[in-house]
A and B are shown apart, each in its own frame.
Chain A
Amino acid sequence: DSGVTQTPKHLITATGQRVTLRCSPRSGDLSVYWYQQSLDQGLQFLIQYYNGEERAKGNILERFSAQQFPDLHSELNLSSLELGDSALYFCASSTPTGAGETQYFGPGTRLLVL
């Protein structure tokens, strides 16, 4: 158990809908990262937050947004969902030690868009 929690574990929804994925980092970790794992694209970095502020953006679609709250939990919002958004979404957290910290991953949320 990494100490990172993600809810829900599974999500089934329809095209055009909007969903929210939630992540709670390990105790003491200030950084939260979101990654998408799909069959065709592999693992891809989406976005990073550090202590409530957006720090880095990767291949995140404009239909997707995220935020990190004062209690450090984070939410990833996916809207206008398409079939191709079906994937495993991971959240990771790390302790700020300067650079290249180890990221510990949650169990993931498996999203299926029908």
Chain B
Amino acid sequence: AQKVTQAQTEISVVEKEDVTLDCVYETRDTTYYLFWYKQPPSGELVFLIRRNSFDEQNEISGRYSWNFQKSTSSFNFTITASQVVDSAVYFCALSEAGSNYQLIWGAGTKLIIKP
């Protein structure tokens, strides 16, 4: 069965440190999509990135970077030089044809950035 695991429940770092959030997924589909969303304390879900299973290129957007490795079924998210505003819950999600492309969510990782 399809599944998304975010083993880190909570991470706390001091501002300016780099931090990596782990995401491991399981799927039988050859075509699938992976996402990261951010949920700040205000509660909304903010889209960060979408990756399809055929594109293993890493992506960098400012201080954010994502490492997609099919060999280990992982899609990890790194924040470089973290800032207090990065404090939020981060969710990894999977979407696949076999599930009509509904989002299957990880449990989320709560990131606390201390000043």
Contact = CB atoms under 8 A, between A and B. Distances in A.
Interface of A: 2, 33, 35, 42-45, 48, 55-56, 58, 88, 90, 92, 99-108, 110
Interface of B: 31-33, 35, 37, 43-47, 50, 52, 91, 93, 95-97, 99-105, 107-108
A36 to B, nearest CB: 11
Contact of B43 (A42, A55, A56, A110): A110
A100 B101 contact: yes
A107 B44 contact: yes
Given A100-B33, A102-B35, A48 B100 contact: yes
Contacts of A105: 37, 44-47
Given A42-B107, A104-B47, A105-B47, A56 B52 contact: no
A110 B44 CA distance: 11
A25 B35 CA distance: 20
